[in-house]
Amino acid sequence: MSTEEKQLYTVSIYTENNIGLLNRISAIFQRRHINIESINSSVSEIEGVSRFTIVVNLEEKQMKKVIGQIEKQVEVIKAYYHTDDETIYQESCMFKVLSDLLFEERQIQNIIKESNARIVTVNKEFFVIEKSGRKEEIELLYRELKPFGILQFTRSGRISVSKQPMKISEMLEAFNQ
């Protein structure tokens, strides 16, 4: 119906740290059949306040409605949405590779060096590479390592900070007055 374009949005939700809140928030996306591209939950800069970082692909009109329904939840302090341009964001990934390759395939060492990846651990059987960056960088590294055989691969959800301040502390102070 709508002609508006879908695009990636990073949703940042500041919440009380309560059991069950993830369920409440994810249900809002589920009801509207919105696929969550990635989700991350952690502590925030404020003690006792949690922060969800959720990436979704949506039209802005729908994004606004979803934000409204998220903010309506009693234990949500504030929710924001940002485009990629408005945020600094990263993902992290880990590769587990056979140790033999590190010595037999000189190419691997170059790949690691050029991609700014980091070797976390090496033992006789395997070594582990960690890489943080944009999704495309991680995907590139994956493609480069793939031919050598990857024992295990995992990528984290996006974490991001906004370029503009979000002023949660001020908001909480206002609540307390």
Residues engaged in binding other proteins (CB under 8 A): 15-20, 23-24, 27, 31, 48, 64-65, 68-69, 71-72, 74-77, 172, 175-176
Residue 26 CB, shortest distance to other proteins, in Å, is 10
Residue 74 CB, shortest distance to other proteins, in Å, is 5
Residue 79 CB, shortest distance to other proteins, in Å, is 11
Candidates 122, 134, 60, 75; CA nearest to 95 is: 122
- C-alpha span between 138 and 143 (Å, rounded): 9
Strands 36-43, 118-122: pairing kind: unpaired
Nearer to other proteins, 48 or 165 (CB): 48
Provide Rg for the chain, Cα atoms: 20
Nearer to other proteins, 34 or 172 (CB): 172
Nearer to other proteins, 17 or 156 (CB): 17
Place of tokens 């998220």: 70
Residue 31 CB, shortest distance to other proteins, in Å, is 7
Residue 136 CB, shortest distance to other proteins, in Å, is 34
Candidates 24, 12, 162, 23; CA nearest to 81 is: 12
Per the document, the length of the chain is 177
Nearer to other proteins, 22 or 98 (CB): 22
Name the percent of the chain in helix, strand, coil, to the closest 5.
Answer: 35, 40, 25
- C-alpha span between 6 and 61 (Å, rounded): 10
Nearer to other proteins, 64 or 146 (CB): 64
